[in-house]
Chains A and B, each alone.
Chain A
Amino acid sequence: AQSVTQLGSHVSVSEGALVLLRCNYSSSVPPYLFWYVQYPNQGLQLLLKYTSAATLVKGINGFEAEFKKSETSFHLTKPSAHMSDAAEYFCAVSDQVDDMRFGAGTRLTVKP
């Protein structure tokens, strides 16, 4: 069965600093991987997804993630944090067998 682990339920960075949100997955078959962002009182918005076309995936709002099969990781990064990036971020995995599974989420705080 597939699963996702997000390391760190809370991450705090200063404005302008690098954002790194960690995600490790477990899947018995090649997975599809997603990062979603959730702002308060809103649904989830897709940031980016990996579907095996390229290991480095660029998403919206300057975010990108790199698929590393050897590490079973799909960490989300952004070179320079902006105040508007403060939100909760979810990593999700989907494969040919199971439904989409989400990680527990990482709340990102951006300090001025």
Chain B
Amino acid sequence: KAGVTQTPRYLIKTRGQQVTLSCSPISGHRSVSWYQQTPGQGLQFLFEYFSETQRNKGNFPGRFSGRQFSNSRSEMNVSTLELGDSALYLCASSLGQGARETQYFGPGTRLLVL
């Protein structure tokens, strides 16, 4: 069974631009979560989608948004990029919702904002 895939793997943008990251979950998984990983802040939860609905949201500004499609694939969008948005963005999928569900992570998209 294929794992979680994320595209693109690497991205370079300039301040003020916007970016869209894509995540394809493991087949059959309906929940997708997004995380931002930086050396300074560590791993921080962005949001979670389940059955095309945002179920939970972390403490990030409105410039960060996402969505989930009927096939469970998810996209994350960051508008008006700032230097501080440079990070590894990780997507994780799980079979269902809930605290006991195991999250399986993709390799991440490394975003560099210049």
Contact = CB atoms under 8 A, between A and B. Distances in A.
A100 B45 contact: yes
Interface string B57-73: 01000000000000000
Contacts of A100: 33, 45, 99, 103
Interface stretch (A39-47, A60-68, A73-81): A39-47
A110 B106 CA distance: 26
B90 A102 contact: no
Contacts of B35: 102
Contact of A90 (B33, B43, B92, B108): B43
B104 A46 contact: yes
Given A43-B90, A105-B43, 12 more contacts: A32-B100, A42-B108, A43-B4, A43-B105, A43-B106, A44-B105, A96-B98, A99-B48, A100-B103, A102-B42, A103-B42, A105-B42
Give chain B's interface residue range (CB within 8 Å of chain A): 20 to 34
B107 interface: yes
A24 interface: no
A97 to B, nearest CB: 8
B90 A44 contact: yes
7 contacts: A42-B107, A43-B106, A45-B105, A46-B103, A94-B100, A103-B42, A105-B43
B20 interface: no
Given A45-B105, A46-B104, A99 B43 contact: no
A81 to B, nearest CB: 24
A102 B56 contact: no
Given A44-B90, A96-B99, A99-B33, A104 B42 contact: yes
